[in-house]
Structure 1
Amino acid sequence: METRRVIVVGYDAAQLLDIACVTSALESANWHGAAPCYEVRLATPGGRPIVTDSALTLQGQVTLERVTGAIDTLIVSGGIGCENAAADPSIVAHVRRLARQSRRVASVCTGAYVLAAAGLLDGRRATTHWQWARRLATLHPEVRVDADPIFIRDGEVATSAGVTAALDLTLAFVEEDNGVELSRTVARGLVTYLQRPGNQAQMSMFVSAPPASNSLIKRTVEHITGHLDADLSTPALAAGAGVSERHLTRLFLKHLGQTPGRYVRQARTEAAAHLLASTSLPMAAVAARCGFGTAETLRQAFVDRYGIAPSRFRLAQAPA
């Protein structure tokens, strides 16, 4: 194959960034020596221009219905028009047809709705934007929806979370095709994170504030995130909040969907990920600063959370 043929499927009200993250990363890979190079084309119904959900118009480069031949990668974009696209028999049928001609198939964000409608996610584990995951699971119970990861690879089919997670997925493809050095070069050129593991959570608790409706939970969370190396056991947190352990646990489950202990472990692991990526602190120092006590305890929590050892995670963030 002289080129890697990539077809990006767009439709009216597709998310512009879903498309641009993919195309920009792959074109950057070409500039930096991808071999074979990527031949990227935007396919639209009828080959018509599409109005994205950013109100900008994109010109289709090829007609979706007329695309034939072998495809390296088929990527379906997401956007607020996803449900209309998933309900369009023609779009769904042609995505299903093109998938049979593709080495790998992927969706960005709510493009998973289209893949699901085409039956391409049946029996597979898949993700999408966290805000749309529950509806996807309701509409397609045959799909094992996991709203947490940035992207999921299940065999030859990959799905990613919302918007800029497209960049993480595309960088993973570039690394798979060309090696880690080129992937890092592309990431640096795009001034983006080097490179988030697919199992990293879509939403960090440090940017997702707890519901302000419960002041006790808010105060407790603020204490946790500000004192990660302190005693954050459930008895200690309950004593600090002036409530029983049982009542504190009930409030955490109601407002945050998890127990205090699980929340603390998640907060400590996310903080450790940040320190591993942004500092050269020894592993034992990272563990102590984040409240894990030992490097081995940190390693176990990190593998549980991200599916990768902290040492490998740090190596992946290091400049080439």
Structure 2
Amino acid sequence: MHRLGFIVSEGFQLMALSTQAVFEFANLVTEDKFYDFACYSVTGGDVMSSSGVRVSTLPLASCTQADTWLVTGASDPIVAPAETEVLKFLRRAERHARRIAGLCTGGFALAEAGLLDGRRATTHWLFARDLQARHPEVQVDDDRIFIVDGPLWTSAGMTAALDLALAMVEADLGQDVARAVAHKLVMPQRRTGGQSQHSELLELAPKTDRIQQALDYARAHLKQALSVEELAEVAHLSPRQFSRVFTAETGQSPAKAIEGLRLEAARLMIEQSRHPLEIVARESGFRDRRHLREVFVRNFGVPPQVTRRGARLGS
């Protein structure tokens, strides 16, 4: 049995505990109680989340050992220092636990305890600069879903913790179990640790279904030329109307938005596969490898090969 301990404190973000569903479904998939988990706080008893939901906890002192500790974060605009007892506990736990994770801003507690000194880590992009400023000895990467550096795991905000938990399941029980868990949880994709925290479609956020349909069509047909006329037909608008409405709803021209979707698709392929860049360029709609590199460097400041190396280090 693999014992999991979730450390919570007043005002914690309830979303962090949604990761328990990943481990629960891993037990269901394997038809065995491989994972056993409980919530802990300094004194035990009920602890209130930021949304007002109370969670029953055990006192930290009552748990002599766990295989994995997961420290939850909060949604406050300023991350408060962790409780002294929690920091002392984490330093002791590092000597015995198989791994320790900081979920979202829970990574701040790991940094305060000195566990992340000299290590790579991530957190919610809103708080990454603060984490780096407070702890310059930590190598903070503000654009990763999660990072594994030895026994220390850190994740970006909110739903990224689910991806971290799923990666733990894969490490413990294998790829097939992790895939089955993701399927049961209706997760649309399994995101690797090296994947960006940002989504181009989320940034565009069209207001009407017709523009959303055009974007969905574009993402599914990136290998094609994707002219304004073609997209306008999908949206049932004239090309002139489509360009005007598209720009008004997304803040970008159709051409700029399509380039962003192609870049996102290319980056995902670069991070998650070993396909040569010629194939990545073709599948994401760029003319050739040189064109991909030009657009990549212009937008991200680094060539595709650097992104691929970073993703392998972070996964």
Q: Scaled by the length of structure 1, what TM-score is found? A: 0.69
User: CA–CA distance in 1 between the matches of 2:203 and 2:8?
Assistant: 30
Amino acid of the structure 2 residue aligned with 1:16: L
Aligned to 1:260: none
Per the alignment, residue 173 of structure 2 pairs with 178
Match of 1:198 in 2: 193
Secondary structure at 1:100's aligned position in 2?
coil
Displacement of 1:100 in angstroms is 1.9
In structure 1, the residue matched to 2:248 is none
CA 1:149–1:100 in 2, change beyond 3 Å: closer, same or farther? same
Q: Are positions 1:63 and 2:59 aligned together?
A: yes
One-letter code of the match for 1:25?
V
1:65-80, aligned counterparts within 5 Å?
65-69=61-65, 71-80=66-75
Structure 1 residue 293 corresponds to structure 2 residue 293: no
Residue 130 of structure 1 aligns to a residue in which SS? coil
Q: How far is the alpha carbon of 1:12 from its aligned partner?
A: 0.8
Unaligned 5+ segments in structure 2 are 206-218, 226-256, 271-276, 297-302
1:191-229 per-residue CA deviation (whole Å, 9 max, x = no partner) reads 11331111110012332359xxxxxxxxxxxxxx99997
| Count of aligned pairs | 254
Q: Deviations over 1:253-304 (max 9, x none)?
A: xxxxxxxxxx99875331346799xxxxxx9887346332347987997664
> Which of 144, 147, 152 is the equivalent residue of 2:147?
152
Q: Which moved more, 1:196-205 or 1:115-124?
A: 196-205
Tell me the SS of whatever aligns to 2:79.
helix
CA RMSD of aligned residues (A): 3.7
Counterpart-to-counterpart distance in 1, 2:264 and 2:62: 46
From the superposition, tell whether residues 271 and 122 of structure 1 become closer, same or farther in structure 2 (CA, over 3 Å): same
Whether the 8 Å contact between 2:27 and 2:35 is mirrored in structure 1 is yes
Following superposition of structure 1 onto structure 2, how do residues 254-273 of structure 1 map, counting pairs within 5 Å? Answer: 267-272=261-266
Cα distance in structure 1, aligned partners of 2:111 and 2:172:
26
- 2:30: which partner in 1? 33
Q: 1:109 aligns with which of 82, 87, 104?
A: 104
Q: Say if 2:79 is the partner of 1:83.
A: yes
Shift of 1:159: 0.4
2:90 matches 1:92: no
- Cα deviation per residue 1:160-205 (whole Å; 9 max; x = unaligned)? 0001111100111101111111001100111113311111100123
- Which residue pairs with 1:4 in the alignment? 2
For the 8 Å contact 1:15–1:78, the answer to whether it is kept is yes
Q: Deviation of residue 65 (structure 1)? A: 2.6
The secondary structure found in structure 1 opposite 2:200 is coil
Counterparts of 2:162 and 2:106 in 1: how far apart (Å)? 15
What code does the residue aligned with 1:114 have? A
| Aligned partners of 1:108 and 1:160 also within 8 Å | yes
Distance 2:153 2:199 in 1: 22
Percent of counterpart pairs with the same letter? 37
Gaps of 5+ in 1: 211-224, 231-262, 277-282, 310-320
Distance, in Å, in 1 between the alignment partners of 2:69 and 2:62 is 14
Distance 1:176 1:100 in 2: 20
Change (3 A) 1:30 1:296: farther
Q: CA deviation at 1:146?
A: 0.6
From the superposition, tell whether residues 12 and 265 of structure 1 become closer, same or farther in structure 2 (CA, over 3 Å). same
Separation in 2, partners of 1:88, 1:289: 50
What TM-score does the superposition give when structure 2 sets the normalisation length?
0.70
1:305 to 2:307 alignment: yes
Letter in 2 for 1:110: T
